[in-house]
Chains A and B, each alone.
Chain A
Amino acid sequence: MIRIPPAALIGLFFTGLYFFVAIFAPLIAPYSMTEIVGDVWEPSSSEHWLGTDNIGRDLLTRMIYGGRTTIFIATAATILSFSLGSILGFTAAVVGGWVDQAMSRFVDLIMSIPTLIFALVVLSVMPVTLFMLIMVMGLLDSTRVYRLARAVAVDINVMDFVEAAKLRGEGRRWIIFREILPNALSPLVAEMGLRFIFAVLFVSTLSFLGLGVQPPNADWGGIVKENKDGIVYGIPAALVPAVAIATLAISVNLVADWVLNRTTSLKGGRG
């Protein structure tokens, strides 16, 4: 029986809740996403729990569908960046030499351009689709993952058990996936939580700037953008997605911390 500390329980609960709502959005949402159901910026009521938005759509419905889009994009981008970044990073560390140099300097080059500006430039010349968003975010983020994965793998690569595998004649695939990956997992998992949150923030930023998810589709950054003018009149609609982003960020981090703690104490793994 695993004992889960209370902080991780809270994190697990909210993360689970958000993902559950995201997956089953069409079943849970009380109205349809684009349907205008009332006046502009109605306060919360029994019919509209969170009130209505700037053109009279149900805000709760928008939030649920928005969460679905945001979480989907962030998850896909994180998976992409981790698969790509860690495999390339491990490869660079294991192969070494000019391959490592070429890859690392290329990554330096990409990283020297501010991510947001890079993304804005790419998205303003390319069609803004979900696929495009995920690709741009995933590729940009993979440079960070590459850095971490390479650093961790360089450390592990010089350990005697890797040397023993090389002396046995093992191929690179075995060394990367069976010797290095299991030992590099814990720092990567911790980073994954962080990267996921950065992805959420990033896609929200892009939508807020108008280059992310396009209306009438909802996403949290877009909801902030649509309702930002209401703040001047004391209408809190724009704060609702902000709170959602914050709680998701905190809960995912609580879970990541817990996973990190467990995996490092497990079987004498690396700290």
Chain B
Amino acid sequence: MSDKLLKVENLKIGARIYPPGEKPRNIDIVHGVSFELEKGKVLGLIGESGAGKSTIGLASMAYGRGGVEITGGKVWVNGREILGTNLKDLRKLRGTEVTYVSQSAAASFNPAKKIMEQVIEASLHQGKFSKKEAEARAVELFTKLGLPDPENIGDRYPHQVSGGQLQRCMTALALCPEPDLVVFDEPTTALDVTTQIDVLMAIKDAIRDTGVAALYITHDLAVVAQVSDEIMVLRMGDMVEHGTTDQIINNPVEEYTRDLVSVRSTQHDGKPPTDNPVLTVENVTARYKGTNFDVLHNVTMELHPGQTLAVVGESGSGKSTTARVITGLLPPREGKIHFDGRDLSSDLEGRSRDDLRELQMIYQMADVAMNPRQTVGTIIGRPLEFYFGMRGAEKKKRILELLEEIEMGPEFMDRYPAELSGGQKQRVCIARALAAKPKVIICDEVTSALDPLVADGILKLLENLQKIENVAYLFITHDLATVKAIADSIAVMYQGRVVRYGPKAEVLAPPFDDYTDLLLSSVPEMRLGWLEEVVQSRKMESAGN
């Protein structure tokens, strides 16, 4: 028992939900999960949204988030049972023995206090260290986590450091009181891939050096494979499979785990470009109103009929701005957009109804892209009515056809967006775009908010629809696995410029420019030891330079 730091037995968690128009009722979120964790080991909890990962993570601190209640089972930390203990004892446990790192560091830090103050707060509060000791320990952790200028970074406010740095500060915050267990709740999900790799390595080193145990919660199997010793796969509150990382990745037993492992392996053979591109972006330079710097510099790209052009880059690289220029929401300062053999007016007002109809857009957040007060039928039906003047039975027939194309049944016609799952919402948005019979659809990060398996389904649907309708996609994404799965040609963007552009086979083949190399090598691969290899090869490269 003594070497078992955390022991969870038959944990059951429930919540009270308030469905509209019905009586509130209790539901079970986690149905009897058990596991153990030894000192210095890392257990990865993995699953889709709603699997109960975070809920289990928080339960190891005997905490239930808003309305969530631990209804059964036992949790031991350091041999003490923590469920049912009083708040005073729990307060001693939380922040000293068990600490927590959340997904959004930006939302978790108090913007009005300096970082150092917040990092040492828990240690001071518990009386574990004096202020001086705690600060020394914080600086030591900053150094260990690879933060720049570790002596002074604590004097900055949270908004004065980057997202990746703040996430590392939060890791320092969690490690500062010398806890026995740290719960990492999706600590790298909100970061760009190139930043993620640094944070992952920093977390991994810090775990090894301090000897803490950790629960690492994520939806990304490739990430968890890099940091954990064991992996537990969860689905809808049930344990699917629990094993060593090696076994889960290389030898999964359950079908669901096998799906998760193989989800990123979809391949798509790039088609060669045709003679007449349907959409040409020519030397576009653009800036936002009221600012004095360009966010796009000389962007040029072509999209061919029935093909997919993937625009890849990190946040802030100008991907979405390019989409805004193409749709006419942001008139460019210089440059032109050609569409289907004609010049497009640079602003929205100057475009004809056919210009608008033939260029449709699908958004990242499907739930805000649909009016919550309109039914699916109204949402899909409006473009039919607006562009083609369809009414009554004719319109209904077409809506049903479209619903069938997106693999949803006629019963969805009268549903509201809130009554759909994330994947279904995105499908409805796709149907709305298709209803206009467009030549080009701009897909702005359409799969990033979705679980891997659901995203896979959406990608397959998009590919099928492309074959049927011969529509071209301008596919904006930060995820290179998605690019490999769907693109015919690729434009890599960095700081408002296209740094690499061409057919997929060429872009993804060496020799690479520096940025593309960094981007490609940062995408987590689903195998053990990948993280170390990348970090090692980068060290060698920089030593060689």
Q: Which A residues are within 8 Å of any B CB, using their own CB?
A: 159-161, 163-164, 166-170, 178-179, 182-183, 265-270
Contact = CB atoms under 8 A, between A and B. Distances in A.
B363 to A, nearest CB: 5
A169 B373 contact: no
Nearest to A182: B373
B365 A167 contact: no
B20 A164 contact: no
Given A167-B360, A268-B419, 7 more contacts: A161-B368, A167-B328, A168-B383, A182-B371, A267-B416, A268-B20, A269-B372
A266 B373 CA distance: 9
B253 interface: no
A166 B353 CA distance: 11
B135 to A, nearest CB: 42
B382 interface: yes
Contacts of B386: 168-170
Contacts of B21: 266
A267 B417 CA distance: 8
B372 A167 contact: no
30 contacts: A159-B368, A160-B363, A160-B369, A163-B329, A164-B432, A166-B329, A166-B348, A167-B327, A167-B328, A167-B329, A167-B348, A167-B361, A168-B356, A168-B383, A169-B351, A169-B356, A169-B386, A170-B386, A178-B371, A179-B371, A183-B371, A265-B18, A267-B372, A267-B373, A268-B20, A268-B372, A268-B416, A268-B417, A269-B372, A270-B372
B361 A164 contact: yes
Interface string B41-67: 000000000000000000000000000
Contacts of A183: 371-373
A267 B371 contact: no
Interface of B is mostly: loop
Contacts of A167: 327-329, 348, 356, 360-361
Nearest to A268: B418
Contacts of B353: 169
Contacts of A178: 371
A20 to B, nearest CB: 29
Interface string B394-426: 000000000000000000000011110000000
A166 B348 CA distance: 9
B370 interface: yes
Given A164-B363, A168-B383, A168-B386, A266 B356 contact: no
- Which 10 A-B pairs have CB atoms at the shortest separation, nearest pair first? A268-B418, A182-B373, A160-B369, A267-B416, A169-B356, A161-B371, A160-B363, A160-B368, A265-B20, A159-B368
A246 B501 CA distance: 72
A38 to B, nearest CB: 54
Contacts of B348: 166-167
A183 B372 CA distance: 8
B356 A267 contact: no
Contacts of B416: 267-268
Interface in B1-51: 18, 20-21
A169 B387 CA distance: 9
Contacts of A159: 368
B483 to A, nearest CB: 23
Nearest to B327: A167
A267 B20 contact: yes
B52 to A, nearest CB: 22
A79 to B, nearest CB: 22
A206 B24 CA distance: 47
A90 to B, nearest CB: 15
A167 to B, nearest CB: 6
A189 to B, nearest CB: 14
A168 B20 contact: no
A161 B18 contact: no
Interface string B117-142: 00000000000000000000000000
A267 B418 contact: yes
Contacts of B383: 168
A167 B361 CA distance: 8
Contacts of B374: 182
